[in-house]
Structure 1
Amino acid sequence: MTGPLTSQPGDELIVELLDIALDAARRAGELLRDGRPADLGVAATKTSSIDVVTEMDLAAEKLITDYLAERRPADGLLGEEGASTPGSSGVRWIIDPLDGTVNYLYGLPSWAVSIAAEADGETLVGVVTAPMRGETYHAALGAGAYVNGEPARVRPAPPVEQALIGTGFGYLTARRAAQAEVVRALLPEVRDIRRGGSAAIDLCDVACGRLDGYYERGLNPWDYAAGELIAREAGALTGGRPGAAADGELTVAAVPGLFEPLQRRLDELGAWHD
């Protein structure tokens, strides 16, 4: 593991979980990268291409869950593609085997494998690997965030009007229309808005200083569990609506000094509802 850990009870568990997460994410990322047909994006509108992406997604999740079952059979699981078991150890893994499936389908590089481990509702480790970027981001609770083993740190806070903000959109038409209205109002008030297509990578881009902030409605725990920890450990603030934690209504991550005004403005604009 890269990064300092203080000598506290539970550190050995965190080191073990992080090592497992890093290895599982690497293996799944290699499977997705090397197993993607070179011509997949050429027929991106064909059902057969969608099926290939689904098969790769399921194969990556099976690789991860089999590996976790081998290393820590008593742990619980929560996965995007249906893997869900309660476990008995008190540790639960939260897995997104392929975050950014449309990017993957079209041959865009911003897709990732996201793996987090939590205990008692608190995320202990998070790993996001983006094979086509050649980057792996990781964090352990209280030990900082890293990208390819080097410390990751958020940017200094800009004025709101100079902030570069990332976001994402849902798949339902009504939700997309509401999200478009939020963007319409917010865009003139900031430097610009980016839509990358992977929530996990967007959160890591906040951690690495490539975005000043990020928000999105409609995320599931597997979309943000690892990335949120990485962003926080890099110095970002995270949450949902004012006074609430990140959840399916709204997830916000931003540098200190920008977080509060961005969160407040998003709440005013109704970014938390359709």
Structure 2
Amino acid sequence: MNDEQLKNELLGIALEAAHRAGELLRDGRPADLGVAATKTSSIDVVTEMDLAAEKLITGFLGERRPEDGLLGEEGADTRGSSGVRWVIDPLDGTVNYLYGLPSWAVSIAAQRDGETLVGVVTIPMRGETFRAVQGAGARLGDRPLACRTAPRLEEALIGTGFGYLTERRAAQGEVVRRLLPKVRDIRRGGSAATDLCDLAAGRFNGYYERGLNPWDFAAGELIAREAGALTGGRPGDPLSGELAVAGAPGVFEPLQRLLEDLGAWHD
């Protein structure tokens, strides 16, 4: 199987897995949904539906490609023997989902040797599915995507998110206070995967966040890049949990420099 065939196979599998999980989460949400567990803090929650969606996705992937590795937010972590690893966030935006807000997503990426080949993010309450294949562009449904630039950083709409630890949230709030006068406005949606897709679709000009995990950004980062966005961390570094920055050309560089000056990379 050549690279193109592999990518097409992985894309088809990711689309089907995301669609199935999205239907489960949308149609199976209990009216009395509650918190099943907490992770890093009392506000970093897991619901029974997060767990059910990851079980559905990992079971499906195991049937279709049993030799692949898996890394999932809710505990899936197997190495595999094929060289391909799936990076899964079964429910990105759990707090939104818990409260009945629409901005939550299923995020599935396929990587080989640490390089993301395919990314799929479905946002069921919007009826939107974003996808990207390395080197082949990004799409929303069948529509090709292109990120939207801004003439100056001062005219850019920026997305961001906050962590769950008290000290980190306080530091992030201070960064927002100092950043807000220097941009058009700031939005906090509650789902990193959704924010990166909105950047790809031209709904944001830039995005940044500290404290993400690989499953939060693996699919969305590829979708943003394939739509023409630039991505990274601190100047000269790749995007990581320390700092994730993404933006249209002309916005990314000044935003990255400003975030470095504001100390957005530390608590």
In structure 2, what is the Cα distance between the partners aligned to 1:258 and 1:191? 12
- Determine if contact 2:103/2:191 at 8 Å carries over to the other structure: yes
Alignment of 1:257 with 2:250, yes or no, is yes
In structure 1, what is the Cα distance between the partners aligned to 2:242 and 2:149? 27
In structure 2, what is the Cα distance between the partners aligned to 1:183 and 1:175? 12
Q: Give the match for residue 75 of structure 1.
A: 68
Q: Give the match for residue 35 of structure 2.
A: 50
In structure 2, what is the Cα distance between the partners aligned to 1:9 and 1:156? 35
Q: Give the match for residue 107 of structure 2.
A: 114
Deviations 1:161-213 (A, max 9, x none): 11100000000000000000100100000000000000000000000000000
**What residue identity is the alignment partner of 2:128?**
E
Using structure 2 for the length normalisation, give the TM-score.
0.95
| Aligned partner (choices 95, 101, 104) of residue 102 of structure 1 | 95
- Determine if contact 2:147/2:201 at 8 Å carries over to the other structure: yes
- Determine if contact 2:161/2:189 at 8 Å carries over to the other structure: yes
**What residue identity is the alignment partner of 2:174?**
E
- What secondary structure does 1:218 align onto? coil
Identical amino acids, percent of aligned pairs: 76
Q: Give the match for residue 46 of structure 1.
A: none
Alignment of 1:177 with 2:170, yes or no, is yes
Deviation at 1:51, TM superposition (A): 2.5
Deviations 1:134-162 (A, max 9, x none): 10000000000000221111113331111
**What residue identity is the alignment partner of 1:54?**
T
**What residue identity is the alignment partner of 1:217?**
R
Q: Give the match for residue 221 of structure 2.
A: 228
In structure 2, what is the Cα distance between the partners aligned to 1:166 and 1:13? 33
Q: Give the match for residue 23 of structure 1.
A: 16
Deviation at 1:39, TM superposition (A): 5.2
In structure 2, what is the Cα distance between the partners aligned to 1:199 and 1:153? 18
Deviation at 1:120, TM superposition (A): 1.1
Size of the alignment, in residue pairs?
Answer: 259
**What residue identity is the alignment partner of 1:93?**
W
In structure 1, what is the Cα distance between the partners aligned to 2:210 and 2:83? 29
Q: Which runs of 5+ in 1 are unaligned?
A: 1-7, 41-48
In structure 1, what is the Cα distance between the partners aligned to 2:240 and 2:81? 25
- What secondary structure does 2:35 align onto? helix
- Determine if contact 2:54/2:74 at 8 Å carries over to the other structure: yes
**What residue identity is the alignment partner of 1:270?**
G
**What residue identity is the alignment partner of 2:167?**
A
- Determine if contact 2:149/2:251 at 8 Å carries over to the other structure: no
Alignment of 1:152 with 2:145, yes or no, is yes
Alignment of 1:243 with 2:236, yes or no, is yes
